[in-house]
Amino acid sequence: MKGLPGTPVQAIDGRHALNRMYLKAGSALLLTVALGQARAADTNAVATSPHMPDAYAQPAKLVDLGHGRHLNLRCSGRGSQTVVLEAGATADSSTWYKVQPLLAAHARVCAYDRAGFGFSSEGPLPRNLDADVADLHALIQRAGLTTPLVMVGHSLGSNIVRRYASRYPIDVSAMVLLDPPAQDIGRFAPAWQKDEDTLSVQRFAFLHRCEAAAEKRQLPSNDPQLSHCLGEANPLASPRLNAVNLAHLSRPAFWHTVLSVLQDNARVFKQPVPAGETHGPTPLIVLSAANTYADAQPRDRKGLEEARAHTQAQIVATSSHSRLVRVPDTSHDIQIDRPEAVVKAVEQAMQMARHAPE
């Protein structure tokens, strides 16, 4: 993984668990995330994965939110229960390309591109949890999705799902959260947080250069520094899909959104889980990845693991009908590495919801 220009590479696979905000590596990972091509800890598993369908090279259903805005919604399957899939920080609906077809055999399943990503139009800034929850609520209403919903969130998506469930509890029958990232990290890994605060200044300066280049229509670019803005093609995608994704990443809207999302992430993940957060008896399953911090520096790994364990325990405690499931042989990107584990958890959540106390 290439570092930011002028920035020492301190690559940690734990970058995934910190919602792509806490990158010790360069911005090429933004391309990885946007294409849904998460790199697993086990590279052989990635190499043998099926290719991403070309269906992701075109929008599915553009749902009108009003004010000239639309969100791209991809639904499949049938059933009385509808499952909504919420992607991580800068990912789009393609991150669910393995999970969605498996879940569609059991329920109606919908994934979507948040504002500024994929085929969705740009949203008003800042792009924070409240903005994402407002868009999601409007999408559910405008698309006529049947509630209550089982909501599945990966990484930052787990924060969005939790905020949505707090604000609209009647809309949510159950939650499945894929490796919720560590919060209040400075309390457990102060040296890591200090390094991160220093590196983030350089990181955002680089991202602003990418944003400026996109606004001047200079992406893609042969400039040695700007070439890092877009990274490399996704080997799991066809030339057609890679071309479409390259066009997405060359839009100013993408960079406006990425910068706003990552700036808000810096605030969100420095804070602990809210003390007053509660979801009552709503069924909640947290999937915890085994190898999130496999490549972390030895001095940081213990603190990062403790921060994540503390965060996930706090989240589990917000529901009286919850469980924590540890998933072996997976990086932070459980939906890529172990899609069957996600499907199993969703099935369990649906069963829990059917038997949940009133």
The per-residue b/e assignment along 292-326, b for 16 or more CB within 10 angstroms, e otherwise, is: bbebbbeebbebbbebbebbbebbbebbebbebee
pLDDT in tens, 220-270: 998 988 989 998 899 999 999 999 999 999 999 999 999 999 999 999 999
**Helix (H, G, I), strand (E, B), or coil: what is residue 159?**
helix
pLDDT at 358: 63
Task: Name the percent of the chain lying above pLDDT 90.
Answer: 82
pLDDT in tens, 163-201: 999 999 999 999 999 999 999 999 999 999 999 999 999
Q: Sorting pLDDT into bands at 50, 70 and 90, what band is 24? A: very low
Q: How far apart are CA 328 and CA 341, in angstroms?
A: 10
One-letter-per-residue 3-state SS of 281-298: CCCEEEEEECCCCCCCCH
Q: Sorting pLDDT into bands at 50, 70 and 90, what band is 203? A: very high
Contacts of 254 (CB under 8 A, 6+ apart): 34, 116, 117, 214, 248
All domains of the chain in start order, with CATH: 1-358 (3.40.50.1820)
Q: How far apart are CA 21 and CA 155, in angstroms?
A: 11
Q: How far apart are CA 166 and CA 284, in angstroms?
A: 13
